[in-house]
Amino acid sequence: MTVPSTDAPTKARGSDEVARVLARIWADLLDLDPDAIDGNASFLRLGGDSVLAVRMSALIRKKLSVELALSDVTVEITLSALTDIVTRRSRDGATARALPVEIEHRADPDAPFPLMPLQQGYFVGQHDGWELSYDSAHFYGDVGLRDMDSDEAEETLADALHRLAQHQPTLRGRIAPDGMQYVLPPDAPGAIPQPRVYDLREAGDEEIRTTLEAVRQEMAATGPNPLTGPGLDVRLSLLPGGRGRLHTAMSLISMDGWSATVLNRELLTLAADWNAVLAPLEVDFGDYVTSVGRLRQTDLWAADRDWWFDRLDDAPLPPALPLRADPRDVAPTLMDTREARLDSARCAALRERCAAHDVTPSAAMLTAFAVVLARWSGHRRLLLNTLQLNRLPLHPDIHRTIGAFSSTMLVPAALDVGRTFAALASAQQRTFAEHAAHNLISGVEVSRELARRRGTPRPVAPVVFQSTLGMDAAIGERQARSAGPLGELDFVDFYHQLRTPQVALEARFWEMGEEMVFAFSLVAELFEPQEVDAAFRELVELIEALADGPGWDREVELPGALEPDRDSGLSLGGPAAADVDEEAGPPRDELEQRIALLWEEILDVPVLDRATPFFALGGDSLLAVRSLARLAKDVGVAVQVRRFLDAPTVAGLAAAIREQGRDSTG
């Protein structure tokens, strides 16, 4: 069943009426007086950004029954230009649809549904499928509490979490071993996450310190696993004097950064008021996933795929950051962190200066990160991976729904010498917008194709940029600081840890109240600590210069080399493992024939050559996990994904099975 719009379909409207509706939408999103909005002022100049632009598209769909193309809603658009586009779309009616799918309710909300592409990457990573893998991909954070009603806090948290899990189905989600996900009914055993409480109100300082350190270490190093239980782990420490800590670990397979913000807000809303009722959701994450899955059968999806694939042969390499260890040999437990904050005054000044230069804060931060990377790696053309919220505006409730909506997007950075930072940021924003206009295909899928062309199982873009700046405005309200019996949240006293597979270094930017927080999360074993410190210090100084003003008009100092020196030693984006010399031909024995038949069943293609790679036959990492699980049952030998990737052929897998079988018996 198609989910209807909350507004009845409308007939074509005149431009004056469209302008009035759009002005009200902008006013609501940007906290402005609709009568004071100049039709020639851009969305960006008025305080908008790319995150808010996504929500704007959803509201236009709801209020005007008009869908916009991804390329229509740029942050630079003016109200007058948007009015013209929406008026034309309204007159064209259904022939001008921008997204060729409607969101539909699944017939059975309890039925399994597929993983999104980035979820697949995290799922495979938890099976040790990649370099720099972990047994869980998750985010952990704990925040200080004060002025608690400690006698009521435990019951309050349990009640709020129970009501939230009934409201948000994803909190009851699980993932099956075959890589499908499903939602448990609220009354199923173990469906609702249960908080754990540590009562340290009568404890001494040493016991408090050691207990909190143990909780933090456990939750940071071992995240919740939706294959075996809830994807959310919430705990509460009760401390003397009405103080406490709220500990939260969230599986990245289950929820993204936007969802974490929604979860925190709704959990605190329910904790603050026993009688609070959240507005019902008309759709859930499963509805979205199955609806978006139909995009793959559309011409628009194929056009976006072709746009990306046509550019891959000229894609740059990742930053050739010097390493002290080969990623193949590193088994990290935690990611290291460098963190800094921009106070509220400087943060406000930065936003104003970005708007004055027609650049979003996120684009400015992406450019600053690219400049630091170029100086560190010694070359000016580099490939970055960016984490995108990427909630397609199929329904107005999408922005209130918890789920793993995020995707990745590869973004090239080509920094020209002799340019000011303002010029570099403007160029980078144009590049970003051009690539984001083709985001119907996931960056995970694009990365797979790039890896196939480069003949490597290694991550093709292990340096990541993530910005959630503007999320507070997009969701519609600031993070609450008061949570009833849980007390007041002290965001100055905040600790966090991130673990994501295939990532060597990630720069993250987010809002904390009126401040901007930015951090490096990195695999410490790969880098010299003093080089990381120097790079992060350089980033801090550059951002402060942008907030204060002088950084925009200075000519940016950059290395002369455009491309990395491939003979410079160990670096990210280094060569793949040596090719395995396997003789081509049909499967040679019973084991190879068994593998070939299994692949034919899973991939639905003939497997005639023992030396043809699994991925060249149309396989992907998720299908590799499934095939290895099936083989383990059939032959009694479990081959690790990482070992399979060293030689992903019928011959290579057969050799791995024989080798592992000999090891287990020898």
- The least confident of 232-246, 288-302, 367-381, 526-540 is 288-302
pLDDT at 344 > cutoff 90: yes
- Locate 449 and state its tokens: 């194709």
Rounded CA-CA distance 363/376 in Å is: 20
Asked if 92 contacts 65 with a C-beta cutoff of 8 angstroms, the reply is no
Rounded CA-CA distance 472/261 in Å is: 8
Instruction: Give the pLDDT band of residue 98 (cuts 50, 70, 90).
Output: low
- Most confidently modeled of 36-45, 150-159, 449-458, 600-609? 150-159
Q: Which helix (H) or strand (E) holds 511?
A: strand 505-512
Asked if 198 contacts 237 with a C-beta cutoff of 8 angstroms, the reply is yes
pLDDT greater at residue 17 or residue 147: 147
Q: Calculate the average pLDDT of the chain.
A: 87
Q: Residue 461: what pLDDT?
A: 93
∠662-663-665 over CA atoms, to 5°?
A: 65
Q: Residue 250: what pLDDT?
A: 96
Average pLDDT over residues 542-563: 96
Average pLDDT over residues 322-337: 89
Q: Residue 480: what pLDDT?
A: 67
SS3 124: helix
pLDDT at 578 > cutoff 60: no
Helices (H), 455-498: 471-475
Dihedral sign for Cα 428, 434, 440, 445, please.
negative
Instruction: Give the pLDDT band of residue 372 (cuts 50, 70, 90).
Output: very high
What confidence tens digit (pLDDT) does each residue in 230-267 have? Answer: 999 999 999 999 999 999 999 999 999 889 989 999 99
- Locate 501 and state its tokens: 């597979």
SS3 292: helix
Average pLDDT over residues 23-43: 86
* Percent above pLDDT 70 for the chain: 91
Q: Residue 483: what pLDDT?
A: 86
Q: Residue 535: what pLDDT?
A: 98
- The least confident of 101-115, 188-202, 495-509, 556-570 is 556-570
**Strands, E assignment, 292-395:** 336-342, 381-388
Asked if 556 contacts 424 with a C-beta cutoff of 8 angstroms, the reply is yes
Q: Residue 567: what pLDDT?
A: 60
pLDDT greater at residue 84 or residue 116: 116
Q: State the angle between helix axes of 15-30 and 50-64 in degrees (0 to 180), rounded to the nearest 10.
A: 140
Look at the chain and count its residues. 666
- The least confident of 354-368, 498-512, 641-655 is 641-655
What confidence tens digit (pLDDT) does each residue in 410-465 have? Answer: 999 999 999 999 999 999 999 998 898 888 899 999 998 998 888 787 889 999 99
Q: Residue 189: what pLDDT?
A: 93
- Locate 17 and state its tokens: 């009426």
Q: Residue 580: what pLDDT?
A: 54
Closest by CA to 249, choosing from 225, 281, 278, is 225
Dihedral sign for Cα 91, 96, 98, 102, please.
positive
Rounded CA-CA distance 542/536 in Å is: 10
Rounded CA-CA distance 605/617 in Å is: 7
SS3 144: strand
Rounded CA-CA distance 636/197 in Å is: 42
Q: Residue 511: what pLDDT?
A: 87
Q: Residue 11: what pLDDT?
A: 43
Dihedral sign for Cα 223, 229, 231, 234, please.
negative
Average pLDDT over residues 498-510: 91
Average pLDDT over residues 68-72: 63
- Most confidently modeled of 102-116, 198-212, 580-594? 198-212
Instruction: Give the pLDDT band of residue 4 (cuts 50, 70, 90).
Output: very low
Average pLDDT over residues 211-227: 93
Q: Residue 160: what pLDDT?
A: 96
pLDDT at 91 > cutoff 80: no
Q: Residue 575: what pLDDT?
A: 52
**Amino acid type, 365:** M
Q: Which helix (H) or strand (E) holds 270?
A: helix 257-272
Q: Which residues contact 11 (CB under 8 A, 6 or more apart)?
A: none
pLDDT at 108 > cutoff 80: yes
Closest by CA to 417, choosing from 246, 555, 287, is 555
Q: Residue 664: what pLDDT?
A: 55
pLDDT greater at residue 642 or residue 322: 322
